[in-house]
Amino acid sequence: MFEYDVLIATYNRGELLKNCLESFPTDPPEGLKKVIFITLANDQDTELAIKETMKPYDTEIIKVNEILKPGASRNIMIEKSSADYLAFLDDDILIPEDYFQKCLKIVKENQFDIFGGPDNSPQNDSLRQKIIGDILAHPFAMGPTSARHACRGNNPVVADETKLTLCNMWMKREILMDSHLRFSENLRRCEENQLLEELSSLGYIMHYVPDMFIYHHRRESLLAMARIQYLSGYYRSVCFYLNHSTFKFFFLAPILTGLLLTIFIFLPNSLKILLIGIHTTLAWTVCYNIFKKYNSLFAFFWGWITMVTIHIFFSLGMFMGILMGWKNAKLD
Protein backbone atom coordinates (compact mmCIF):
# COMPACT_ATOMS: atom_id res chain seq x y z
CA MET A 1 0.00 0.00 0.00
CA PHE A 2 1.36 3.41 -0.99
CA GLU A 3 1.48 6.07 1.72
CA TYR A 4 1.65 9.82 1.24
CA ASP A 5 2.18 12.89 3.41
CA VAL A 6 0.46 16.21 2.83
CA LEU A 7 2.79 19.22 3.24
CA ILE A 8 1.41 22.69 4.03
CA ALA A 9 3.38 25.84 4.86
CA THR A 10 1.30 28.53 6.58
CA TYR A 11 2.23 31.77 8.31
CA ASN A 12 -0.26 33.99 10.13
CA ARG A 13 -3.19 32.86 7.98
CA GLY A 14 -5.17 30.95 10.56
CA GLU A 15 -8.61 31.74 9.11
CA LEU A 16 -7.65 30.73 5.58
CA LEU A 17 -5.99 27.59 6.88
CA LYS A 18 -9.06 26.67 8.91
CA ASN A 19 -11.25 26.93 5.80
CA CYS A 20 -8.77 24.72 3.96
CA LEU A 21 -8.63 22.07 6.67
CA GLU A 22 -12.41 22.00 7.04
CA SER A 23 -12.57 20.87 3.41
CA PHE A 24 -10.54 17.75 4.22
CA PRO A 25 -12.61 14.55 4.54
CA THR A 26 -14.06 13.93 8.00
CA ASP A 27 -12.13 10.67 8.22
CA PRO A 28 -8.51 10.43 7.00
CA PRO A 29 -8.49 9.09 3.43
CA GLU A 30 -6.82 5.82 2.51
CA GLY A 31 -3.05 6.00 2.28
CA LEU A 32 -2.63 9.32 4.08
CA LYS A 33 0.17 8.88 6.59
CA LYS A 34 0.56 12.36 8.04
CA VAL A 35 -0.24 16.03 7.45
CA ILE A 36 2.89 18.09 8.07
CA PHE A 37 2.67 21.82 8.77
CA ILE A 38 5.33 24.48 9.15
CA THR A 39 4.33 27.67 10.92
CA LEU A 40 5.56 30.41 13.24
CA ALA A 41 6.22 29.49 16.84
CA ASN A 42 4.07 32.40 18.09
CA ASP A 43 1.21 31.84 15.63
CA GLN A 44 -1.44 30.64 18.04
CA ASP A 45 -4.32 31.01 15.57
CA THR A 46 -2.73 28.54 13.17
CA GLU A 47 -1.99 26.00 15.88
CA LEU A 48 -5.56 26.30 17.16
CA ALA A 49 -6.99 25.85 13.64
CA ILE A 50 -4.97 22.66 13.22
CA LYS A 51 -5.97 21.22 16.60
CA GLU A 52 -9.65 22.06 16.12
CA THR A 53 -10.09 20.68 12.62
CA MET A 54 -7.58 17.83 12.32
CA LYS A 55 -8.37 15.70 15.39
CA PRO A 56 -8.85 12.43 13.43
CA TYR A 57 -5.58 12.99 11.53
CA ASP A 58 -1.98 12.27 12.38
CA THR A 59 -0.33 15.70 12.20
CA GLU A 60 3.08 17.20 12.83
CA ILE A 61 3.65 20.91 13.39
CA ILE A 62 7.11 22.31 12.72
CA LYS A 63 7.60 25.67 14.44
CA VAL A 64 10.09 28.29 13.25
CA ASN A 65 10.92 31.72 14.63
CA GLU A 66 10.60 33.68 11.39
CA ILE A 67 8.73 33.44 8.11
CA LEU A 68 10.79 31.35 5.73
CA LYS A 69 10.76 31.56 1.95
CA PRO A 70 8.53 28.97 0.26
CA GLY A 71 11.43 26.82 -0.90
CA ALA A 72 13.06 26.74 2.53
CA SER A 73 9.74 25.90 4.20
CA ARG A 74 9.05 22.97 1.91
CA ASN A 75 12.58 21.63 2.16
CA ILE A 76 12.24 21.36 5.93
CA MET A 77 8.94 19.48 5.58
CA ILE A 78 10.44 17.14 2.97
CA GLU A 79 13.10 16.09 5.44
CA LYS A 80 10.43 15.33 8.05
CA SER A 81 8.49 13.04 5.71
CA SER A 82 9.00 9.31 5.37
CA ALA A 83 6.08 8.49 3.05
CA ASP A 84 6.21 7.17 -0.51
CA TYR A 85 4.65 10.31 -1.99
CA LEU A 86 4.68 14.00 -1.05
CA ALA A 87 1.52 16.02 -1.69
CA PHE A 88 2.22 19.76 -1.82
CA LEU A 89 -0.85 21.86 -1.05
CA ASP A 90 -1.38 25.52 -0.10
CA ASP A 91 -3.16 26.89 2.95
CA ASP A 92 -5.65 28.93 0.89
CA ILE A 93 -7.16 26.08 -1.13
CA LEU A 94 -10.32 24.03 -0.74
CA ILE A 95 -10.28 20.31 -1.48
CA PRO A 96 -13.11 18.69 -3.47
CA GLU A 97 -14.78 15.76 -1.78
CA ASP A 98 -13.25 13.13 -4.07
CA TYR A 99 -9.81 14.71 -4.45
CA PHE A 100 -7.80 12.19 -2.46
CA GLN A 101 -9.61 9.23 -4.05
CA LYS A 102 -8.64 10.55 -7.49
CA CYS A 103 -5.02 11.07 -6.47
CA LEU A 104 -4.71 7.65 -4.85
CA LYS A 105 -6.19 6.04 -7.97
CA ILE A 106 -3.51 7.77 -10.02
CA VAL A 107 -0.81 6.47 -7.67
CA LYS A 108 -2.14 2.90 -7.74
CA GLU A 109 -2.68 2.69 -11.49
CA ASN A 110 0.21 4.74 -12.85
CA GLN A 111 2.80 5.41 -10.15
CA PHE A 112 3.77 8.65 -11.90
CA ASP A 113 7.01 10.26 -10.75
CA ILE A 114 5.45 13.73 -10.55
CA PHE A 115 1.87 14.75 -11.24
CA GLY A 116 -0.48 17.62 -10.56
CA GLY A 117 -3.68 19.30 -11.57
CA PRO A 118 -5.17 22.77 -11.97
CA ASP A 119 -6.62 25.14 -9.42
CA ASN A 120 -10.08 26.58 -10.00
CA SER A 121 -12.02 29.38 -8.36
CA PRO A 122 -14.29 28.14 -5.55
CA GLN A 123 -17.79 27.45 -6.87
CA ASN A 124 -19.55 29.51 -4.21
CA ASP A 125 -17.00 32.33 -4.01
CA SER A 126 -17.45 35.98 -4.98
CA LEU A 127 -17.93 37.22 -8.53
CA ARG A 128 -14.47 38.78 -8.43
CA GLN A 129 -12.91 35.42 -7.56
CA LYS A 130 -14.73 33.74 -10.44
CA ILE A 131 -13.63 36.43 -12.90
CA ILE A 132 -10.00 36.17 -11.77
CA GLY A 133 -10.26 32.41 -12.29
CA ASP A 134 -11.62 32.90 -15.81
CA ILE A 135 -8.81 35.30 -16.69
CA LEU A 136 -6.09 33.01 -15.31
CA ALA A 137 -7.52 30.10 -17.31
CA HIS A 138 -7.40 31.99 -20.62
CA PRO A 139 -4.39 31.50 -22.94
CA PHE A 140 -4.32 35.20 -23.91
CA ALA A 141 -3.85 36.17 -20.27
CA MET A 142 -1.41 33.47 -19.18
CA GLY A 143 -0.06 31.73 -22.29
CA PRO A 144 0.66 28.00 -21.88
CA THR A 145 0.67 28.37 -18.07
CA SER A 146 -3.12 28.90 -18.26
CA ALA A 147 -3.37 25.08 -18.10
CA ARG A 148 -2.59 25.43 -14.40
CA HIS A 149 -5.97 27.07 -13.93
CA ALA A 150 -8.21 25.22 -16.40
CA CYS A 151 -9.47 21.63 -16.64
CA ARG A 152 -8.52 20.89 -20.25
CA GLY A 153 -8.95 17.35 -21.47
CA ASN A 154 -9.99 14.17 -19.70
CA ASN A 155 -6.86 12.06 -19.34
CA PRO A 156 -3.40 12.56 -17.83
CA VAL A 157 -0.83 13.88 -20.30
CA VAL A 158 2.93 14.19 -20.18
CA ALA A 159 3.69 17.79 -19.26
CA ASP A 160 6.48 20.24 -18.62
CA GLU A 161 6.86 22.53 -15.64
CA THR A 162 4.68 25.26 -17.18
CA LYS A 163 1.55 23.14 -16.62
CA LEU A 164 2.11 22.21 -12.96
CA THR A 165 1.47 24.41 -9.94
CA LEU A 166 2.89 23.92 -6.47
CA CYS A 167 -0.45 24.41 -4.74
CA ASN A 168 -1.60 21.08 -6.21
CA MET A 169 1.35 18.80 -6.94
CA TRP A 170 2.46 15.29 -5.92
CA MET A 171 5.81 13.55 -6.36
CA LYS A 172 7.62 10.44 -5.25
CA ARG A 173 9.73 11.26 -2.23
CA GLU A 174 12.49 8.88 -3.35
CA ILE A 175 13.27 10.94 -6.45
CA LEU A 176 14.22 13.88 -4.24
CA MET A 177 16.27 11.61 -2.01
CA ASP A 178 18.02 9.91 -4.94
CA SER A 179 18.69 13.12 -6.89
CA HIS A 180 19.64 15.16 -3.79
CA LEU A 181 17.64 18.02 -5.29
CA ARG A 182 15.49 20.41 -3.31
CA PHE A 183 13.52 23.61 -3.87
CA SER A 184 15.65 26.70 -4.35
CA GLU A 185 15.58 28.77 -1.17
CA ASN A 186 16.29 32.01 -3.01
CA LEU A 187 13.56 31.92 -5.64
CA ARG A 188 10.08 33.24 -4.90
CA ARG A 189 6.99 31.98 -6.74
CA CYS A 190 9.14 30.07 -9.24
CA GLU A 191 10.89 27.62 -6.94
CA GLU A 192 8.92 24.67 -8.29
CA ASN A 193 9.70 25.57 -11.92
CA GLN A 194 13.42 25.35 -11.31
CA LEU A 195 13.18 22.06 -9.38
CA LEU A 196 10.87 20.43 -11.93
CA GLU A 197 13.15 21.42 -14.81
CA GLU A 198 16.14 19.88 -13.00
CA LEU A 199 14.20 16.68 -12.33
CA SER A 200 13.06 16.55 -15.95
CA SER A 201 16.68 16.79 -17.13
CA LEU A 202 17.40 13.67 -15.04
CA GLY A 203 14.68 11.74 -16.87
CA TYR A 204 11.80 12.00 -14.40
CA ILE A 205 8.43 12.36 -16.15
CA MET A 206 5.76 14.89 -15.18
CA HIS A 207 2.06 14.44 -15.83
CA TYR A 208 -0.75 16.98 -15.92
CA VAL A 209 -4.06 15.53 -14.68
CA PRO A 210 -6.95 17.89 -15.57
CA ASP A 211 -9.51 16.12 -13.41
CA MET A 212 -7.31 16.42 -10.31
CA PHE A 213 -8.34 19.97 -9.46
CA ILE A 214 -8.58 21.94 -6.24
CA TYR A 215 -10.28 25.26 -5.48
CA HIS A 216 -8.00 28.23 -4.85
CA HIS A 217 -8.89 31.56 -3.26
CA ARG A 218 -6.90 34.34 -4.99
CA ARG A 219 -5.93 37.77 -3.74
CA GLU A 220 -8.35 40.38 -5.10
CA SER A 221 -6.38 43.55 -4.35
CA LEU A 222 -4.89 45.02 -7.52
CA LEU A 223 -1.82 46.03 -5.53
CA ALA A 224 -1.35 42.46 -4.29
CA MET A 225 -1.91 41.13 -7.81
CA ALA A 226 0.66 43.54 -9.20
CA ARG A 227 3.23 42.50 -6.61
CA ILE A 228 2.63 38.79 -7.20
CA GLN A 229 2.90 39.16 -10.97
CA TYR A 230 6.05 41.28 -10.75
CA LEU A 231 7.76 38.73 -8.51
CA SER A 232 6.59 35.86 -10.74
CA GLY A 233 8.04 37.57 -13.80
CA TYR A 234 11.27 38.60 -12.11
CA TYR A 235 12.08 35.20 -10.67
CA ARG A 236 11.03 33.45 -13.86
CA SER A 237 13.90 35.37 -15.50
CA VAL A 238 16.21 34.40 -12.65
CA CYS A 239 15.46 30.78 -13.55
CA PHE A 240 16.86 31.41 -17.02
CA TYR A 241 20.24 32.20 -15.48
CA LEU A 242 20.10 29.14 -13.24
CA ASN A 243 19.01 26.76 -15.97
CA HIS A 244 18.87 27.84 -19.61
CA SER A 245 16.37 25.08 -20.46
CA THR A 246 13.69 26.88 -18.42
CA PHE A 247 13.52 29.49 -21.18
CA LYS A 248 10.64 28.88 -23.59
CA PHE A 249 10.08 30.80 -26.83
CA PHE A 250 6.73 32.23 -25.70
CA PHE A 251 8.46 34.14 -22.89
CA LEU A 252 9.77 36.54 -25.54
CA ALA A 253 6.32 38.16 -25.63
CA PRO A 254 6.33 39.41 -22.00
CA ILE A 255 10.07 40.22 -22.14
CA LEU A 256 9.59 42.46 -25.19
CA THR A 257 6.43 43.93 -23.63
CA GLY A 258 8.44 44.77 -20.51
CA LEU A 259 11.06 46.48 -22.65
CA LEU A 260 8.39 48.54 -24.43
CA LEU A 261 6.78 49.49 -21.12
CA THR A 262 10.07 50.88 -19.78
CA ILE A 263 10.52 53.11 -22.83
CA PHE A 264 6.82 53.74 -23.49
CA ILE A 265 6.91 57.51 -22.98
CA PHE A 266 9.63 57.81 -25.63
CA LEU A 267 7.68 55.91 -28.29
CA PRO A 268 5.97 57.82 -31.13
CA ASN A 269 2.31 58.55 -30.39
CA SER A 270 1.19 56.53 -33.40
CA LEU A 271 3.01 53.45 -32.07
CA LYS A 272 1.60 54.00 -28.58
CA ILE A 273 -1.94 54.11 -29.98
CA LEU A 274 -1.32 51.01 -32.11
CA LEU A 275 0.05 48.95 -29.22
CA ILE A 276 -2.71 49.99 -26.84
CA GLY A 277 -5.32 49.36 -29.53
CA ILE A 278 -4.08 45.84 -30.30
CA HIS A 279 -3.99 44.84 -26.64
CA THR A 280 -7.37 46.42 -25.87
CA THR A 281 -9.01 44.70 -28.82
CA LEU A 282 -7.72 41.27 -27.81
CA ALA A 283 -8.47 41.82 -24.13
CA TRP A 284 -11.99 43.05 -24.81
CA THR A 285 -12.66 39.96 -26.89
CA VAL A 286 -11.87 37.84 -23.83
CA CYS A 287 -13.82 40.13 -21.52
CA TYR A 288 -16.88 40.11 -23.78
CA ASN A 289 -17.18 36.36 -23.21
CA ILE A 290 -16.90 36.99 -19.47
CA PHE A 291 -19.62 39.63 -19.77
CA LYS A 292 -21.91 37.12 -21.53
CA LYS A 293 -21.16 34.46 -18.93
CA TYR A 294 -22.14 36.64 -15.95
CA ASN A 295 -24.35 39.23 -17.74
CA SER A 296 -22.48 41.96 -15.88
CA LEU A 297 -20.64 45.10 -17.02
CA PHE A 298 -18.69 44.90 -13.77
CA ALA A 299 -17.43 41.47 -14.85
CA PHE A 300 -16.29 42.93 -18.18
CA PHE A 301 -14.31 45.80 -16.66
CA TRP A 302 -12.97 43.87 -13.67
CA GLY A 303 -11.73 41.19 -16.05
CA TRP A 304 -10.07 43.83 -18.22
CA ILE A 305 -8.38 45.55 -15.29
CA THR A 306 -7.20 42.19 -13.96
CA MET A 307 -5.72 41.22 -17.32
CA VAL A 308 -3.98 44.57 -17.78
CA THR A 309 -2.50 44.30 -14.27
CA ILE A 310 -1.22 40.78 -14.96
CA HIS A 311 0.36 41.73 -18.29
CA ILE A 312 1.96 44.98 -17.16
CA PHE A 313 3.55 43.73 -13.97
CA PHE A 314 4.56 40.24 -15.12
CA SER A 315 6.20 41.82 -18.18
CA LEU A 316 7.99 44.47 -16.13
CA GLY A 317 9.12 41.77 -13.72
CA MET A 318 10.50 39.61 -16.51
CA PHE A 319 12.36 42.49 -18.11
CA MET A 320 13.88 43.61 -14.81
CA GLY A 321 14.79 40.00 -14.12
CA ILE A 322 16.64 39.85 -17.44
CA LEU A 323 18.56 43.00 -16.47
CA MET A 324 19.25 42.22 -12.83
CA GLY A 325 18.30 38.61 -12.15
CA TRP A 326 21.89 37.35 -12.49
CA LYS A 327 22.53 38.78 -9.01
CA ASN A 328 19.86 36.51 -7.49
CA ALA A 329 21.05 33.56 -9.57
CA LYS A 330 24.49 33.86 -7.97
CA LEU A 331 22.93 33.26 -4.57
CA ASP A 332 21.96 29.75 -5.65
What pLDDT digit, counting tens, does each position of 198-252 carry?
Answer: 999 999 999 999 999 999 989 899 999 999 999 999 999 999 998 888 888 999 9
Q: Are 229 and 310 in contact (CB under 8 A)?
A: yes
Query: Reduced to 3 states, what is the DSSP secondary structure of residue 5?
Result: strand
pLDDT (tens digit, 9 = 90+) per residue, 137-183? Answer: 999 999 989 999 988 777 899 999 999 999 999 999 999 999 999 99
pLDDT (tens digit, 9 = 90+) per residue, 254-303? Answer: 999 999 999 999 999 999 999 999 999 999 999 999 999 999 999 999 99
Judged against a pLDDT cut of 90, whether residue 324 lies above it is answered with yes
Q: Are 303 and 310 in contact (CB under 8 A)?
A: no
**Beta-carbon count within 10 A of 52 CB:** 11
Sketch the domain layout of the chain as residue ranges. 4-218, 225-331
The HSE-up count of residue 300 (CA atoms within 13 Å, CB side) is 10
In the CATH scheme, what is the code of domain 4-218?
A: 3.90.550.10
Sign of CA dihedral 165, 168, 170, 176: positive
Mean pLDDT of the chain: 93
Q: How confident is the model at residue 54 (pLDDT cuts 50, 70, 90)?
A: very high
HEC profile for 211-234?
A: CCCEEECCCCCHHHHHHHHHHHHH
Instruction: Give the pLDDT of residue 322.
Output: 95
Whole-angstrom distance, CA of residue 264 vs CA of residue 298: 29
Of 329 and 325, which is predicted with more confidence? Answer: 325
Secondary structure of the chain: what % helix, strand, coil (to 5)? 55, 15, 30
